[in-house]
A and B are shown apart, each in its own frame.
Chain A
Amino acid sequence: MFEYLFQALTPINLMLAVVGVIAGVTIGGMPGLTATMAVAVLTPLTFTMPADSALIALAAIYMGAIYGGCYAAILANTPGTPSSIATTFDGYPMAKRGDGQMALSLATIASVTGGFLSVMALLLLAPPLAKVALAFGPPEYFWLAVLGLTLVASLSKGTLMKGLLGACLGLLISFTGSAVIGGDMRFTFDQPALVGGVNIIVALIGIFCIPVILDLVSSPDPHLEVNTGDKKGLRLREAFGHVWREKVNLLKSSGIGTLVGALPAAGGSVASLIAYSEARRSARNADEYGKGAPGGIIASESANNGTVGGGFIPTLVLGIPGTPPDAIILGALLVHGIRIGPDLFTEHSAVVYTFIFGLAIATLIMLPIGLFMGRYAFKAFVAIPKTLLVPGILLMTVLGTYAIHSSYADVVMMLALGLVAWILSRAGFAPAPIVLGVVLGAIAEQGFVQAWLIGSANNNLLGMYFGRPISLVIIGLIVLGLFYPLIMKRFKKKLMVIDNE
């Protein structure tokens, strides 16, 4: 299969990888323009290319867009794509205190590593991983979403009650519209615009971005601290040092990303949230998470780029797209007359392996491109006066929101949610738990109801939720995550008692 490596290295394929990554990073870096949108917009352009080149271009765009999301997350506390929600938790605090460039370097290294490892998994482990993905049924999705929701406990700065209330608000927002299961119209108030529910991107931009803009306007301070002296520049050596210290976290998060990406009903946002919560749980410096811990950025960014390679596993092995951009790429494959099936890896091996190598190359190219673009993104972001920055971001949020469905209703909804989120943030409610509720609510609800329906049909409700091996592992992680701090406290006290004797 290595003969296809050279096919991936042809000038045209290399050029498409570079152009794809740059286009992806640019689109993904803008709040409101997501990886799905980047791929959807550029897909028709690839219909005239040969199949392998088209695939490489689309996958490079996808990889770039997922990575590009970190720019806005780190510099403006606004996830550029839903996949970088967890990157804001530590990325923005780092940027705020003057370590913005280093945060970008960390994110770049983690993204490239996570992406590359996931592509290697796609190359070497695709069939067994596809089997694992299929073993995830409704109860597993439910518990996975619950595991993600436990993050609320650690994300609610200040009081836990406010974090929980915020998450509930997020859950309510996620219920809006015609229910996937049952078809009931919920919280639509007879408005056609609400029938489709609140789009995740709309909620994301509104809840994260608008309060940031309003805060920028309401204080005279500069938007980011800028370090001068020896703390400026990309600080690559320092960044690599951090990554090396976090190597276990990096590998684990890349693995979580690859696996979650391979699950057809969960994507980059879920992967990065779960990787983040796992990194925080196992970190020695858990207290620093949320205040600018390098480990948080590494976990989130390696996991979300891990979903790219992971998502292609069910797409190529089963013809079932692992993530929404994969669905579009799968459609593009069909337009090229390539039918996904068990014989894809043998019958179309030239296309498939050329594509996988092309994606690996695109991922590696992302390191220099990312560091270069990140450097200028940072410089430009810092140099822009606030009076230009604020209207600029506002314009982008409106355009990005409008671009989702070409709908003014979405823009109104985004601004309304933003205003509510800003008022709530003044009252001490952080935006992260609300968004967590929106992102995970739908997955949790659907998993729960599907499991209930299947369990009732088989007359085995309890076994459905608590009798399946993967579910039990996830439940174990939830319990561990929630009670770990308590157990540790007990343990430490005991040690102290022993010491005193």
Chain B
Amino acid sequence: MKFSRFSKIAVACVAAFSLGMASSAMAEWPKGDVTYITNFNPGGESDITARMQESTFKKVTGHGFIYQYRVGAGGAAGWAQLNRITSDGSAIMGINTPHIFLQPLAGNVGYKTEDVNVVYIFQLTPYALIVPAESPIKDLDDYIARAKAAPGTMTVAGTGTNSAPHVAKESFDYHADIKTTYIPFTGTAAASAALLGRQVQAQWAFTTAGVEQGDRVRLLGVAMEERHPLFPDVPTFKEKGIDFTGGARRGVAVPNGVSEEMRQEMSDVFAKVNQDPDLRKRMEDAGYVLLDIPYSEMAEYTRKLSEDYQQVARLLGMIK
């Protein structure tokens, strides 16, 4: 995009400035404004998250963000370029799960999961099963009963194939031992319109959709350990005996060249940002759940995630 050229110049200036500082100052991150690369459109959830973080980031570090966008191929266009961005710590890139695990399994997308050096994971958007407000499906038990009575006739919308909502659908169906029909749409707008227009009976989405769609929809259940504070009446799947929790996660990653020491510093900064009560409130009001996976625990965490997604990929039929 056009402004990315400005940002590049800005990055170059910041980089030059920080090199000059390096000899005199302590190695503390960040040394100037940080270029925050988002692989989705401005105004998307990833962008909104980054912008929610900025004021707190400024409070913690005294520096701001320079936003850059590398949109394409569901984020893959950006992650494929991660190891080509500057590795002096002046640029970071947002990451999303399950994207960075499932995309490389689907084919050659220009990067491998292990090329993405995740420094911190700060947010979880839990999966939610939603129906239109006036739907005859009363609750989660009713949904499962209907799906069991006529296997495959329940139609459920979601965005894309091998995507987060698709993962949710397959995992839930597996754990609840039901069979439903997944109808993929391009983008959240089309999927939500299909649900509200009653083209499908239900939709796999996130708790944020429950906030955005307000009382036009009902949440049947959320894939969380405990109930979501915004939806105290909506049960978790676990309460109903279905062992399924999860959602899409967001975090930040850096290219290979960034030193271990600096990665640790970044992780500490994002941990502090996540503790800010203002930020926590804003995120929770929008339907997100805050998550704190620091760099020191990342290797173990991503190894576990990778195993989970291997299993999901088998459910999706992506790998044998």
Pick from B4, B162, B185, B213: contact of A406, CB below 8 A: B4
Q: How many residues of B contact A (CB 8 A)?
A: 59
Chain A residues 105 to 158 lying within 8 A of chain B, measured CB to CB, are 133-138
Contact (Cβ within 8 A) B193 A181: no
Residues of B within 8 A of A196 (CB): 72-74, 76-77
Shortest C-beta distance, B183 to chain A (Å), equals 5
Specify which of B48, B184, B186, B193 lies most central, judged by the most chain A CB atoms within 10 Å of its CB: B193
Contact (Cβ within 8 A) B318 A183: yes
Contact (Cβ within 8 A) A328 B155: no
Contact (Cβ within 8 A) A405 B72: yes
Contact (Cβ within 8 A) A195 B43: no
B44 at interface by CB-CB < 8 Å: yes
Of B104-112, B221-229, B243-251, B265-273, which stretch is located at the interface? B104-112
Contact (Cβ within 8 A) A44 B42: yes
How far is A181 from B159 in the complex, measured between Cα atoms in Å?
A: 9
Given A44-B67, A196-B76, A341-B214, A190 contacting B108 (CB threshold 8 A): yes
Contact (Cβ within 8 A) B1 A40: yes
Contact (Cβ within 8 A) B110 A195: yes
Residue of A nearest to B73 (CB): A196
Given A137-B199, A405-B72, A320 contacting B51 (CB threshold 8 A): no
Contact (Cβ within 8 A) B197 A321: no
Specify which of B44, B72, B181 lies most central, judged by the most chain A CB atoms within 10 Å of its CB: B72
Contact (Cβ within 8 A) B2 A457: no
Q: How many residues of A contact B (CB 8 A)?
A: 64
How far is A183 from B186 in the complex, measured between Cα atoms in Å?
A: 12
Main secondary structure of the interface of B (DSSP, over half): mixed
Of A249-257, A277-285, A330-338, which stretch is located at the interface? A330-338
Contact (Cβ within 8 A) B215 A342: yes
B148 at interface by CB-CB < 8 Å: no
Contact (Cβ within 8 A) B72 A331: no
How far is A322 from B107 in the complex, measured between Cα atoms in Å?
A: 32
A473 at interface by CB-CB < 8 Å: no
Complex interface bits, A15-31 against B, C-beta within 8 A gives 1, otherwise 0? 00000000000000000
Specify which of A193, A196, A335 lies most central, judged by the most chain B CB atoms within 10 Å of its CB: A196
How far is A401 from B193 in the complex, measured between Cα atoms in Å?
A: 31
Residues of B within 8 A of A405 (CB): 70-72, 77
Contact (Cβ within 8 A) B162 A183: yes
How far is A33 from B193 in the complex, measured between Cα atoms in Å?
A: 28
Residue of A nearest to B198 (CB): A134
Residues of B within 8 A of A195 (CB): 73, 76, 107-110
A403 at interface by CB-CB < 8 Å: yes
Contact (Cβ within 8 A) A319 B212: yes
Shortest C-beta distance, A196 to chain B (Å), equals 3
Number of A-B residue pairs, CB cutoff 8 Å, is: 177
Residue of B nearest to A27 (CB): B2
How far is A2 from B1 in the complex, measured between Cα atoms in Å?
A: 39
Residues of A within 8 A of B259 (CB): none
Contact (Cβ within 8 A) A185 B107: yes
Residue of B nearest to A442 (CB): B186
Pick from A199, A335, A457: contact of B181, CB below 8 A: A457
A453 at interface by CB-CB < 8 Å: yes
Contact (Cβ within 8 A) B193 A133: yes
Shortest C-beta distance, B213 to chain A (Å), equals 6
B283 at interface by CB-CB < 8 Å: no
B196 at interface by CB-CB < 8 Å: yes
Contact (Cβ within 8 A) B108 A40: no
B216 at interface by CB-CB < 8 Å: yes
Complex interface bits, A448-470 against B, C-beta within 8 A gives 1, otherwise 0? 00100110111100000000000
How far is A404 from B72 in the complex, measured between Cα atoms in Å?
A: 9
How far is A322 from B109 in the complex, measured between Cα atoms in Å?
A: 30
Shortest C-beta distance, A307 to chain B (Å), equals 14
Contact (Cβ within 8 A) A320 B193: yes
Contact (Cβ within 8 A) B47 A331: yes
Contact (Cβ within 8 A) A457 B155: yes
Chain B residues 53 to 80 lying within 8 A of chain A, measured CB to CB, are 67, 69-74, 76-77, 80
How far is A107 from B48 in the complex, measured between Cα atoms in Å?
A: 37
B95 at interface by CB-CB < 8 Å: no
Contact (Cβ within 8 A) B80 A192: yes
Shortest C-beta distance, B1 to chain A (Å), equals 6
A369 at interface by CB-CB < 8 Å: no
Contact (Cβ within 8 A) B184 A134: no
A427 at interface by CB-CB < 8 Å: no
Shortest C-beta distance, A467 to chain B (Å), equals 14
B190 at interface by CB-CB < 8 Å: yes
How far is A318 from B192 in the complex, measured between Cα atoms in Å?
A: 9
How far is A316 from B287 in the complex, measured between Cα atoms in Å?
A: 20
Given A342-B216, A457-B153, A457-B154, A264 contacting B51 (CB threshold 8 A): no
How far is A442 from B153 in the complex, measured between Cα atoms in Å?
A: 26
A413 at interface by CB-CB < 8 Å: no
Residues of B within 8 A of A135 (CB): 197
How far is A459 from B152 in the complex, measured between Cα atoms in Å?
A: 10
Chain A residues 333 to 357 lying within 8 A of chain B, measured CB to CB, are 334-335, 339-343
Shortest C-beta distance, A192 to chain B (Å), equals 3
Shortest C-beta distance, A48 to chain B (Å), equals 12
Residues of A within 8 A of B264 (CB): none
How far is A450 from B108 in the complex, measured between Cα atoms in Å?
A: 26
A179 at interface by CB-CB < 8 Å: yes
Shortest C-beta distance, B285 to chain A (Å), equals 9
Contact (Cβ within 8 A) B1 A134: no
How far is A456 from B189 in the complex, measured between Cα atoms in Å?
A: 24
How far is A190 from B107 in the complex, measured between Cα atoms in Å?
A: 8
Contact (Cβ within 8 A) B107 A331: no
Shortest C-beta distance, B168 to chain A (Å), equals 15
Residue of A nearest to B216 (CB): A342
Chain B residues 149 to 207 lying within 8 A of chain A, measured CB to CB, are 152-155, 160-162, 181-187, 189-190, 192-194, 196-200
17 additional A-B residue pairs with CB within 8 Å, beyond A181-B161, A183-B161, A321-B189? A40-B69, A44-B3, A135-B197, A136-B197, A137-B197, A137-B199, A138-B183, A180-B186, A182-B161, A192-B108, A265-B189, A318-B196, A319-B213, A327-B43, A328-B41, A328-B43, A407-B77
16 cross-chain CB contacts under 8 A:
A37-B2, A41-B2, A138-B183, A138-B199, A182-B184, A192-B80, A192-B111, A264-B189, A264-B192, A265-B186, A265-B189, A319-B213, A331-B48, A335-B51, A406-B70, A457-B155
Cβ-closest 3 pairs across A and B: A331-B43, A192-B110, A196-B73
Q: Which residues of B contact A (CB under 8 A)?
A: 1-4, 41-44, 47-48, 51, 67, 69-74, 76-77, 80, 106-111, 152-155, 160-162, 181-187, 189-190, 192-194, 196-200, 211-216, 286, 318
